[in-house]
Amino acid sequence: MIKHLALIMDGNRRWAKTQGFLNVASGHEEGSKTIERVVEFALAHGIKFVSLYTWSLENFNRPEYEKRFLFEMLERKADGFIEKFVKQDVRICFRGDAGFFPKNLIPVIKRLEDETRECKTLELNFLFCYGAQQEIVAAARELARKTKAGVLDPEGIDDHTIRQELWMAGTPDPDLIIRTGGKTRLSNFLLYQSAYSEIYFLDCFWPELTEQHLDKCVKKFETAQQNFGR
């Protein structure tokens, strides 16, 4: 049974090009519909956590018009997300380096999180301004500060104490990671948490991801042998 499904949403821009859109950012608009399909799938299958690689720290190197389009899209869709997800009992969480959150989006992010805080059926994590290597570095720095201050004994540092300092603290490791877009790499996504995750790579672009794709991945996961090194 899958408790946590994580997805790398790759292929929005390439999908837009295949559809003949002059503005490749239009793929992100179509891709937002896939998010709703994934949420509906998770709810139907009793999945408690969904994590979406929404915006990496490396994505800040993209063209200004694309960044502006994406951030404005989040602002524009916020109220609709709140209305829909509250009805579905879905809690929204943003995970990443809050120091990089665009200032105009901070009130939007706070509203999305506050308005859905009491929802309990599904936790939907938007990994935003996120990078797994940076997450681990940030955790190491915090542990070093606590050690230096005498709050933490270096001998007491273990997997549990590290996890407490990660941006994904409180969320179980993903059972299954799915990446769309045909690329076969994790691209700095949940590196610490993916040690025992099943990882499936799909050739379809993110806007093309269907319930059938997800169902096939889940069934494949359920038949995979999970021995965790034993």
Catalytic residues: 10, 59
Distance CA 206, CA 180 (A): 6
Contact 206, 12 (CB under 8 A): yes
Residue position matching structure tokens 């570095």:
137
Distance CA 10, CA 54 (A): 9
- Residue 219: CB partners within 8 Å, gap ≥ 6? none
What number of other Cβ atoms are within 10 A of residue 70's Cβ?
22
Residues found in the chain: 230
Q: What is the DSSP letter of 100?
A: G
Contact 85, 92 (CB under 8 A): yes
Distance CA 70, CA 47 (A): 27
Strand partners, 128: 55
3-class SS string, 113-153:
HHHCCCCCCEEEEEEEEECHHHHHHHHHHHHHHHHHCCCCC
